[in-house]
């Protein structure tokens, strides 16, 4: 008979909640372990089967660590600000707050039904004023330190959403959410100076236990590159401009210069004859969206300005061009072009028939640009030097002559922190009528988001808050001066930049969190979530954490010591699950039909945690079948403990298998290799079915190691085994290494590397003994008939290989 999952799961779910079984205590002397999930955005669609994958993984770790004697912090909360709720509210006329609340309730119910061992007393919600009070507080600290500033920048304006998007929210020229077109438009925006932390964000990656691919993506995103800044004078003009180059050694090979279309000097230096052409070009380029600009960039375009720059190293006149392959946002928005040794410059020079002068030996400039190393030529005092020495010598020359200096540039830009939306944290700043600006004082936090039914975009680019007069208008009580509140709100990333800190002390109204508790719990020992947050969330959170470290709020330089990215669960047809494809699996349905334990087990057994694997209904059935097998092994049809389970067995046939299982499962879970750990549990159950008797010790040990994966079933079995306390804090079983090796081991005998026979030998048999016994083996002897044994390799405990011909 199979077990009734609905009944059992409900029973234990309520038991855990009512008893607060998983409440963590910040004041114990136990060693701590902080296991964190990336908290979800509570969408209207409810939980996706992808969510429980990571959540089960962290839950297994949490449950195992508790049983191993750790004090475990395993919390859950809601990243509930954001565009979808606002869009929904706009579409339906509902209140985003109300909508969010409903979604959170659904998510909570679904998550609780899966039996995750969260401490629900620590539940947090980023839209809760008592939470975003501290998000705003951190913003004020950033502002105080000059790390939050207003800048007029060309931003990604999305007319359909009525808001500005960060670069990373724009995919292929369209909004990440919704896929609406995006254009560039200059606007005043709040920026966070993440670039001030670029080097530390880069360097400190070294000490983190993260997947190398994620570290690489962050390195790539930060994009540190070393080189030099070089000053160029302009013939017949007062102005000079600066270029950034990683190859100052090729300065003698510079044959023209390029300014980005947005470069302020373009207008000034363009000659009257070229004016018309240049203006037309710039008009064309700025009208292009980012998408078109990169797309059409396959073919280089540009226009000569008529002006000439002076190469500082040899006084040569270089034509100055405007071209959109040079980006205003990187370096100084201007380059010196060395077509002989840069592929982009080469392509451009070929197209517009510009001079190409090789300065490094090794390539053939008739065919292509040569970017490799080699002896310098045509380069005066650099001649004969290699690339590395050439660069050093060139920088020395620039610095000695006041023409430039060594310089490090980053691809990382400052973080565009404003959103013209309603459903976000208000930025606590007031703009006064005299043009000054001041921060809302700390004791006035939280600056609450006003209730309103008018959340349509104002249309002007300002957020809907601009239309709420009694909120937006303020009067200074002392001076009587009129002011206007900042109407921009924070982006969705803000709340998730520090939520892991609030879990540590969620109800503190004096501080973001108690320093003692922060010291106890940080850093996070394991953080699991999807790879889609590889750069943005993880980089922003690291940035805020480092800042909080600098101002003495947190005790660690990095928040997430170990990071792991779970893979995706694909639809049964191997495609990404989506409503339109009709391949979505709803966790509620599975919990109802197969049970939460089955879903947990199945998702962990599908494959490695980081792999993307297609859902399989048959596989799910198989997972349930295993749990049924476990149940039937221990429990009879009339719901009693099986007679197979005895206090002391007459023959301990399971000894080796049991110890092997405990060892493997413990190690595999530790390494997040749940699929192999589960397969070992299956092996044990298969063995146990064959055994006449099962000792109660083994039965209990097995139920314990099963409990992190299938906690409801394990609690029920634990009770049947005669216990009246939860299994959650029972000691994790130990294994005996000595029991893993039997006295007799099977040794393989190979001839010429091919297995020809097997023999049982004493586990301590020496090389010589192995060799001798192998050569005496009857079938081997037969095989060696007429051959000469050249060599015998014996590996104790493994094999003997005989080389003969």
Partner RNA sequence: GCGGGUGUGGCGGAAUUGGCAGACGCGCUAGACUUAGGAUCUAGUGUUUUUAAACGUGGGGGUUCAAGUCCCUCCACCCGCACCA
Q: Which residues between 668 and 707 bind RNA (CB under 7 A)? A: 673, 675-676, 678-679, 682-683, 686, 689-690
- The values of phi and psi at residue 259, to 5°, are -105, 145
Q: Nearest 5°: CA angle at 291, between 285 and 295?
A: 80
Task: Report the alpha-carbon distance of residue 680 to residue 662 in Å, rounded.
Answer: 9
Among 101, 185, 193, 344, contact with RNA (rule: CB under 7 A): 344
Find the binder of RNA among 75, 162, 331, 491 (CB under 7 A): 331
CB atoms closer than 10 angstroms to residue 612: 16
Residues 408-427 close enough to bind RNA by CB under 7 A: 409, 411
Binding residue (CB under 7 A) for RNA from 32, 94, 793, 796: 793
363 is an interface residue for RNA by CB under 7 A: no
Q: Which one among 82, 115, 261, 333 touches RNA, defined by CB under 7 A?
A: 333
Interface stretch with RNA, choices 192-200, 507-515, 621-629, 719-727 (CB under 7 A):
621-629
Could you say which DSSP state residue 360 is in? B
Smallest distance, RNA to C-beta of residue 407, A: 10
Pattern 214-233, RNA, x by CB under 7 A: --xx--xx-x-x-x------
Q: Which stretch binds RNA (CB under 7 A): 440-448, 489-497, 606-614, 697-705?
A: 606-614
Applying the rule CB under 7 A, the residues between 571 and 590 that interact with RNA are: none
Strand pairing partners for 148? 192
| Closest to RNA by CB, 11 or 656 | 656
Q: Toward RNA, which CB reaches closer, 378 or 593?
A: 593
Size of the site for RNA (CB under 7 A): 82
Q: How far is the CB of 493 from RNA (least distance, A)?
A: 15
Q: Is 625 helix (H, G, I), strand (E, B) or coil?
A: helix
Return the bridge partners of 244, or none: 229
Binds RNA by CB under 7 A, chosen from 25, 28, 105, 294: 294
E-only strand ranges, 539-627: 563-566, 569-570, 613-614
* x/- letters, 738..767, toward RNA (CB under 7 A): --------x-x-x-xxxxx-x---------
User: Hey, which residues between 134 and 193 contact RNA (CB under 7 A)?
Assistant: 168
| Of residues 369 and 591, the one with the C-beta less far from RNA | 369
Which residues between 530 and 559 bind RNA (CB under 7 A)? 531, 534-535
User: Closest approach of Cβ 298 to RNA, in Å?
Assistant: 7
Q: Which is nearer to RNA, 604 or 649 (CB)?
A: 604
Strand partners, 153: 187
Cα 277 from chain centroid? 46
Binding letters toward RNA, positions 473-512, x by CB under 7 A = ----------------------------------------
Sketch the per residue contact string, 232 through 271, with RNA: x for CB under 7 A, - otherwise.
-----------xxxxx------------x-----------
Binder among 95, 628, 697, 719 for RNA (CB under 7 A): 628
Q: Residue 338 CB, nearest distance to RNA (Å)? A: 7
The nearer residue to RNA, 372 or 459, going by C-beta atoms, is 372
Among 608, 644, 723, 796, binds RNA (CB under 7 A): 608
Instruction: Report the alpha-carbon angle 103-613-666, nearest 5.
Output: 90
Beta strands 526-530 and 563-566 are parallel
Q: Which of 91, 152, 206, 212 binds RNA (CB under 7 A)?
A: 212
Name which of 17 and 752 has its Cβ closer to RNA: 752
DSSP tag of 783: H
| Residue 579 annotated as part of some ligand binding site | yes
Tokens 């409810």, residue located: 46
Q: Binding to RNA by residue 799, rule CB under 7 A?
A: yes
**Ranges of H-type helices in 401-514:** 469-472, 493-496, 499-502
Q: How many residues does the chain have?
A: 805
* Smallest distance, RNA to C-beta of residue 608, A: 4
Do the beta carbons of residue 77 and residue 104 sit within 8 Å?
no
CB of 434 to RNA, least distance (A): 38
Q: Kindly give the interhelix angle for 5-19 and 596-605, rounded to the nearest 10 degrees.
A: 90
Out of 159, 173, 530, 607, name the contact with RNA by CB under 7 A.
607
- Tell me which long-range contacts 8-14 makes (C-beta under 8 A, separation of at least 24): 8/595, 8/712, 8/713, 8/715, 8/716, 9/113, 9/115, 9/591, 9/595, 9/596, 9/597, 9/712, 11/712, 11/716, 12/115, 12/711, 12/712, 12/715, 12/716, 13/112, 13/113, 13/115, 13/712
Rank residues 108 and 411 by Cβ distance to RNA and give the closer one: 411
Q: CB of 509: closest distance to RNA in angstroms?
A: 39
Check residue 524 and report its DSSP letter. Answer: B
Out of 616, 636, 640, 766, the only residue in the binding site for RNA (CB under 7 A) is 616
Residue from 630, 764, 763, 749 nearest 698 by CA? 630
Q: What is the nearest approach in angstroms of RNA to the Cβ of residue 346?
A: 11
Considering only 149, 330, 352, 517, the residue that binds RNA (CB under 7 A) is 330
- Which stretch of DSSP H or E encloses residue 768? helix 767-776
Closest distance of CB 503 from RNA, Å: 28
Token reading at 76: 């859950």
CA–chain centroid gap for 750, Å, is 48
Residues 6+ apart with CB under 8 A from 477: none
**Chain-centre distance of CA 110, in angstroms?**
24
Q: What is the smallest separation between the CB atom of 198 and RNA, expressed in angstroms?
A: 12
Q: Residue 6 in contact with residue 595, Cβ under 8 Å?
A: yes
Under rule CB under 7 A, residue 804 binds RNA: no
- Name the strand (E) or helix (H) holding 562: none
For position 795 contacting RNA by CB under 7 A, the verdict is yes
* Residue from 367, 451, 643, 791 binding RNA (CB under 7 A): 791
Give the containing element (helix H, strand E) for 307: strand 303-310
Q: Which residues pair with 432 in a beta bridge?
A: 483
Nearer to RNA, 535 or 646 (CB): 535
Q: Which is nearer to RNA, 643 or 690 (by Cβ)? A: 690
Minimal distance in Å, beta carbon 142 to RNA?
24
Gap between the terminal Cα atoms of the chain: 60
Among 150, 153, 291, 297, binds RNA (CB under 7 A): 297
217 Ramachandran zone, left/alpha/beta (phi>0; psi -120 to 50): alpha
Residue 50 or 333: the one with the smaller Cβ distance to RNA is: 333
Whether omega for the bond prior to residue 711 falls within 30 degrees of 0, making it cis, is no
Cβ at position 42, least distance to RNA in Å: 23
Q: Decide whether 367 or 791 has the Cβ nearer to RNA.
A: 791
Strands of 754-762's sheet in order across: 754-762, 744-751, 799-804, 789-795
Angle in degrees, 0-180, between the axes of helices 51-67 and 655-670, rounded to the nearest 10: 120
296 binds RNA (CB under 7 A): yes
Draw the binding track, 426-455, toward RNA (x: CB under 7 A; -: no contact): ------------------------------
Q: Determine, following the binding rule CB under 7 A, whether residue 56 of this chain makes contact with RNA.
A: no
| Cα separation, 136 vs 133, whole angstroms | 5
**The dihedral formed by the CA atoms of 384, 387, 390 and 396, expressed in degrees to the nearest 10:** -170
Sole binder of RNA in the list 71, 324, 558, 716 (CB under 7 A): 324
Beta carbon nearer to RNA, 11 or 193: 193
By beta-carbon proximity to RNA, the closer residue of 227 and 426 is 227
- H or E stretch at 631: helix 617-634
Give the annotated binding-site residues for ATP.
Answer: 579
Residues that constitute the known binding site: 579
């Amino acid at each position: 008979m199979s077990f009734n999952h609905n009944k059992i799961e409900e029973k234990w779910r309520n038991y855990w909640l009512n008893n607060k079984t998983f409440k963590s205590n910040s004041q114990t002397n136990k060693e701590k372990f902080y296991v964190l999930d990336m908290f979800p955005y509570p969408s209207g669609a409810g939980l996706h089967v992808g969510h429980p994958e990571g959540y089960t993984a962290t839950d297994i770790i949490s449950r195992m660590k508790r049983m191993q004697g750790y004090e475990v912090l395993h919390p859950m909360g809601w990243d509930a600000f954001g565009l979808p709720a606002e869009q929904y509210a706009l579409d339906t006329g509902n209140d985003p707050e109300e909508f969010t609340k409903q979604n959170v309730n659904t998510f909570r119910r679904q998550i609780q039904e899966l039996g995750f061992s969260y401490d629900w007393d620590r539940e947090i919600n980023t839209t809760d004023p008592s939470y975003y009070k501290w998000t705003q507080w951190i913003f004020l600290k950033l502002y105080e330190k000059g790390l939050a500033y207003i800048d007029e920048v060309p931003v990604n304006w999305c007319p359909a959403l009525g808001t500005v998007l960060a670069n990373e929210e724009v995919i292929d020229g369209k909004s990440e959410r919704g896929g609406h077109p995006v254009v560039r438009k200059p606007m005043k925006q709040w920026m966070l100076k993440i670039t001030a932390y670029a080097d530390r964000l880069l360097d400190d990656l070294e000490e983190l236990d993260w997947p190398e691919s994620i570290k690489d993506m962050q390195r790539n995103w930060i994009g540190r590159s070393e080189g030099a800044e070089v000053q160029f004078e302009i013939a017949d003009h007062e102005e000079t401009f600066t270029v950034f180059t990683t190859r100052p050694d090729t300065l003698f090979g510079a044959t023209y210069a390029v300014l980005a279309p947005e470069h302020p000097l373009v207008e000034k230096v363009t000659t009257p004859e070229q004016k018309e052409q240049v203006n037309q070009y710039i008009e064309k380029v700025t009208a292009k969206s980012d998408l078109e600009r990169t797309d059409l960039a396959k073919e280089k375009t540009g226009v000569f300005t008529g002006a000439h720059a002076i190469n500082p190293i040899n006084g040569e006149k270089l034509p100055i061009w405007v071209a959109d392959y040079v980006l205003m946002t990187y370096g100084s928005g201007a380059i010196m072009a060395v077509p002989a040794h840069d592929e982009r410059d080469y392509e451009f020079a070929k197209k517009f028939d510009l001079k190409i002068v090789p300065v490094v030996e090794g390539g053939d400039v008739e065919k292509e640009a040569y970017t490799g190393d080699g002896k310098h030529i045509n380069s005066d005092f650099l001649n004969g030097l290699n690339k590395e020495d050439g660069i050093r010598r060139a920088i020395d020359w620039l610095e000695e002559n006041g023409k430039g200096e060594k310089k490090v540039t980053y691809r990382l830009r400052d973080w565009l922190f404003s959103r013209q939306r309603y459903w976000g944290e208000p930025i606590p700043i007031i703009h006064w009528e005299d043009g000054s600006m001041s921060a809302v004082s700390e004791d006035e936090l939280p600056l609450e988001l006003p209730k309103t039914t008018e959340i349509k975009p104002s249309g002007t680019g300002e957020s809907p808050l601009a239309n709420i007069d009694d909120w937006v208008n303020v009067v200074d009580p002392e001076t009587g001066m009129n002011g206007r509140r900042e109407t921009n709100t924070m982006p969705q990333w803000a709340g998730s930049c520090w939520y892991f800190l609030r879990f540590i002390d969620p109800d503190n109204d004096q501080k973001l969190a108690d320093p003692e508790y922060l010291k106890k719990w940080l850093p996070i020992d394991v953080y699991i979530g999807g790879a889609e947050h590889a750069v943005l969330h993880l980089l922003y959170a690291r940035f805020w954490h480092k800042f909080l470290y600098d101002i003495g709020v947190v005790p660690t330089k990095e928040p997430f010591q170990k990071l792991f990215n779970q893979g995706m669960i694909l639809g049964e047809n191997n495609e990404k699950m989506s409503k339109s494809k009709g391949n979505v699996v709803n966790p509620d349905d599975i919990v109802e039909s197969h049970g939460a334990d089955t879903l947990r087990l199945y998702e962990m057994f599908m494959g490695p945690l980081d792999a993307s694997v297609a859902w399989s209904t048959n596989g799910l059935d198989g997972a349930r079948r295993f749990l049924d097998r476990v149940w039937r092994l221990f429990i009879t049809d009339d719901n009693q403990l099986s007679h197979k389970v005895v206090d002391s067995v007459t023959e301990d046939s399971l000894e080796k298998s049991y110890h092997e299982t405990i060892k493997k499962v413990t190690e595999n879970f530790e390494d997040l290799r749940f699929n192999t750990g589960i397969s070992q549990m299956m092996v044990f159950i298969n063995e146990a079915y064959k055994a006449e008797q099962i000792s109660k010790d083994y039965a209990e040990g097995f139920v314990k190691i099963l409990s992190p994966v299938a906690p409801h079933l394990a609690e029920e079995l634990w009770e049947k085994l005669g216990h009246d306390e939860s299994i959650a804090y029972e000691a994790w079983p130990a294994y005996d290494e000595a029991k893993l090796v039997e006295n007799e081991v099977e040794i393989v005998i190979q001839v010429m590397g091919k297995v020809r026979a097997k023999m049982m030998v004493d586990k301590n048999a020496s090389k010589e003994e192995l060799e001798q016994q192998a050569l005496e083996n009857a079938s081997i002897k037969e095989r060696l008939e007429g051959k000469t044994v050249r060599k015998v390799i014996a590996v104790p405990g493994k094999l003997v290989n005989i080389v003969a011909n």
